[in-house]
Structure 1
Amino acid sequence: MLGKVCGSLTKLQFCRKIYPTTRSSSNLSMSEPVILRVLASSVKIADRAGQIVRDIMAGGQLGIVEKTGKNDLQTEADRSAQNCIVASLQAQYPDLTVVGEEGEQDLSQVPAEWIVRDYEEKALSLNCTDDLSSAKMSDLTVWVDPLDGTAEYTQGLLDHVTVLIGLSLGSRAVAGVIHQPYWNYKNKGGPIGRTFYGLVGGGVVGLNPIPPPEGSRIVATTRSHGTGLIQQALEIIQADTVLRVGGAGHKVMLLMEGQAHAYVFPSPGCKKWDTCAPEAILHAMGGKLTDMKGQTYQYHSQVEHRNSDGVLATAKASDHAWYLDTIPQVLRYHTPGDYQCGQ
């Protein structure tokens, strides 16, 4: 049996000796860098969490509840996917620190079939820079958004939905896994779902980055009818096209796949579990994500969960400075709204 995830922060060493040595932990060489071992396991865990998300939708019992209001929802898929992710990481890495969006979860009844003990072998071959290869388990924090785009999930906008597992080393986002449970779901008879992952300095696996089109400016932002600062920012940068989509992971993916040049969100609605994985993968493929002031967010386990100064991300790191220079400080340094970045 597993214990509880206390609050949003789980220190997994409190649950050691709960599981016997698993197949993945015995097969993973201790000579492999810790960061690669955790990343390799997270890839397979994200796959399983995505299957749970699909199974719950197919069953029709979403179990929707409001967390802080009608714009901040939680479903049975959020809860169950987080249980799968946290319990699986706990089984393989008892000393790992995990921060999950859904807060306190009772893991005592997690089904055995949800506990992932496998790993993605390809992830172990990623190039690992010296600072990452020397990292210890105690240096890492895993940030989990088990279902990014919950509102879209309940509304049937399934291509906006992702499972996010981000890894930080100290304060830096350095690796991430993004799983799309409903990738290709409109293609009847075809494969459904995909997972890709990346390591800063090591590249990206499972996704071929595509540069955005030249000669235009396409900007992604919140689905909410942004007024005030958001609308002013969009007008000042003179976006040719504005993509109002859900899910922080989905918005950043638009940059990765060449469908948008920038993600502009001058609002404090996002949390660290929304941005850790996307930031790491975006940086691994040559993009850049910061707050609206151009400052890098910190991801150590004790940091405030809220991204208080919004999000500014660009497909090309070299474009990032233009948005900082063009959007006035009065908009970048004043973010009173609180839209949920998943909307």
Structure 2
Amino acid sequence: MADLLKLLLRVGEKAANVARLCRQEAPLFQLLVQEKTGEDKNKKFVQDFKTLADVVIQEMIRHDVRVQFPEMAGFIHGEESNMFENGLGESVTVTVCTTEEETAKLLATVLDGDQTAASLLARAIHQDPATIEVSTDSLTIPLKPSELGIWIDPIDATSQYIKGREEVLEEGRLFPSGLHCALVLIGVYLRSTGEPVMGVINQPFNNKDPADRGWRGKHYWGVSCGSINICSESRPRNRSEGQRGLSVVLSSSEKQGVKEALTSVCGPDKLIYASGAGHKILCIIQGLADAYVLSEGSTFKWDSCAPHALLRALGGGVVDLAMCLQQSDSGAQDPSTELTYHLPRTDRKGAERWANHGGLVAYRDSSQLRSIIGALKGKL
């Protein structure tokens, strides 16, 4: 498990390098975007974009994990199809080849023969990042790679990545939108039960280096398996008793009824709106808000698996909202309501097979979860 965590941190940083590279080349970035259609389209948005950066990152992570852990090959899942259509209308299956030169040649077919851009991407794919310092050598967990599966969201909050609005982040303050919302999410789950046991989050656009004005990232990780719970983030401090009301982060498109119901447990101005499912859960991990509530089934296993593992390591979790509302008041603490990641919905097609159909609540304190479920009961 220590070796797997080190690998995922490394490929997460490689993924961040690719994401940054694609934004640095403006003409390349315009070329890379195409709209999703059909069963792969997220029903929540009028336009939902897939970029070559998404596909390249996903296939790079899949390739690197297969090389080191071949027993996981059939259980590495991602958001994107690796079929990409170039400007000539030709469909190309994007894969990572054995050598940088072979990968560049393949990418050139996607990029309409642009050898320079293809070579830049191939170099980022095949080049190891700078060493990531993390103390995992003493991490001993009784799990084998053959027991695990992986969910990859190569660039969560793609719309924010495309818009590219820059924000200067401040410690302890939630910024609802901007490039920092775009995250690389890699979650590990148990094949037998679907429990999330490890998560790596890379935030490629965390801050700009004042010297060269280049973007620098930040990574977060967590492991939760039985009695072992370790996270790169500290458990957020409890708020003082005098501070009234929970702070809940929502999507701007959330139902009015949900907003009104939550005002009974939230203090003034404590309903916060932010972009990106992964980003919203990261805000809970960081203690910038107490919970994330979503009543629609518009998130997917690749959105929630990685941050779910970090929340579990901090004593929280992510539950199916509909299941919690159907159970008694104590149902908010029932382990069976926690999201799992191993079984598709057989009555759905395409991406919808892996949607979190019942909505969700991401939380870090079970008492706060009970308050939220109590406020929403009978309102949905």
Q: With structure 1 as the length reference, what TM-score do the two structures score? A: 0.77
Residue 219 of structure 1 pairs with residue 248 of structure 2: yes
Give the gaps of 5 or more residues in structure 2. Answer: 84-93, 98-102, 104-121, 165-177, 325-331, 346-352
For residues 163 and 178 of structure 1, what CA distance do their matches in structure 2 show?
A: 6
Residue 92 of structure 1 pairs with residue 68 of structure 2: yes
Aligned residues: 291
For residues 258 and 58 of structure 2, what CA distance do their matches in structure 1 show?
A: 31
One-letter amino acid of the counterpart of residue 43, structure 1: L
Q: How does 1:140-159 map to 2 (within 5 A)?
A: 140-156=148-164, 157-159=178-180
Residue 196 of structure 1 pairs with residue 220 of structure 2: yes
Residue deviations 1:38-66 (CA, integer Å, cap 9, x gap)? 22200110011001101101112332222
Match of residue 101 from structure 1: 79
For residues 101 and 154 of structure 1, what CA distance do their matches in structure 2 show?
A: 17
For residues 256 and 148 of structure 2, what CA distance do their matches in structure 1 show?
A: 38
Alignment counterpart, residue 320 of structure 1, candidates 359, 369, 374: 369
Task: Give the superposition deviation at 1:291.
Answer: 1.3
Structure with greater helix share of residues? 2
For residues 152 and 185 of structure 2, what CA distance do their matches in structure 1 show?
A: 6
Aligned identity (percent) is 26
Match of residue 298 from structure 1: 340
Alignment counterpart, residue 136 of structure 2, candidates 116, 124, 133: 124
> Is residue 212–residue 255 contact of structure 1 (8 Å, CA) maintained in 2?
no
Match of residue 275 from structure 1: 304
Alignment counterpart, residue 208 of structure 1, candidates 231, 234, 240: 234
One-letter amino acid of the counterpart of residue 82, structure 2: E
For residues 138 and 261 of structure 2, what CA distance do their matches in structure 1 show?
A: 38
Query: 1:113/1:55 Cα in 2 relative to 1: closer, same or farther (>3 Å)?
Result: closer
Match of residue 286 from structure 2: 257
Give the gaps of 5 or more residues in structure 1. Answer: 1-34, 332-343
For residues 116 and 136 of structure 1, what CA distance do their matches in structure 2 show?
A: 28
For residues 8 and 250 of structure 2, what CA distance do their matches in structure 1 show?
A: 28
> Is residue 197–residue 281 contact of structure 1 (8 Å, CA) maintained in 2?
yes
Structure 1 SS opposite 2:66? helix
Residue deviations 1:218-245 (CA, integer Å, cap 9, x gap)? 11111x3333444344345445322211
For residues 169 and 134 of structure 1, what CA distance do their matches in structure 2 show?
A: 12
For residues 65 and 236 of structure 1, what CA distance do their matches in structure 2 show?
A: 43
Query: 1:151/1:126 Cα in 2 relative to 1: closer, same or farther (>3 Å)?
Result: farther
For residues 319 and 140 of structure 1, what CA distance do their matches in structure 2 show?
A: 31
Task: Give the superposition deviation at 1:115.
Answer: 3.9
Greater alpha carbon shift after TM alignment, 174-183 vs 134-143 = 134-143
For residues 186 and 219 of structure 1, what CA distance do their matches in structure 2 show?
A: 32
Task: Give the superposition deviation at 1:311.
Answer: 1.2
Residue 180 of structure 1 pairs with residue 203 of structure 2: yes
Q: How does 1:38-57 map to 2 (within 5 A)?
A: 38-57=4-23
Residue 64 of structure 1 pairs with residue 40 of structure 2: no
Query: 1:330/1:186 Cα in 2 relative to 1: closer, same or farther (>3 Å)?
Result: farther
For residues 229 and 270 of structure 1, what CA distance do their matches in structure 2 show?
A: 20
For residues 160 and 99 of structure 1, what CA distance do their matches in structure 2 show?
A: 22
Task: Give the superposition deviation at 1:73.
Answer: 1.6
For residues 163 and 265 of structure 2, what CA distance do their matches in structure 1 show?
A: 31
Structure 1 SS opposite 2:248? strand
Residue deviations 1:84-132 (CA, integer Å, cap 9, x gap)? 211211222222120100133531554365147788673533544xxxx
Structure 2 SS opposite 1:163? strand
For residues 33 and 274 of structure 2, what CA distance do their matches in structure 1 show?
A: 21
For residues 140 and 301 of structure 1, what CA distance do their matches in structure 2 show?
A: 13
> Is residue 288–residue 320 contact of structure 1 (8 Å, CA) maintained in 2?
no
Query: 1:113/1:51 Cα in 2 relative to 1: closer, same or farther (>3 Å)?
Result: closer
Q: With structure 2 as the length reference, what TM-score do the two structures score? A: 0.70
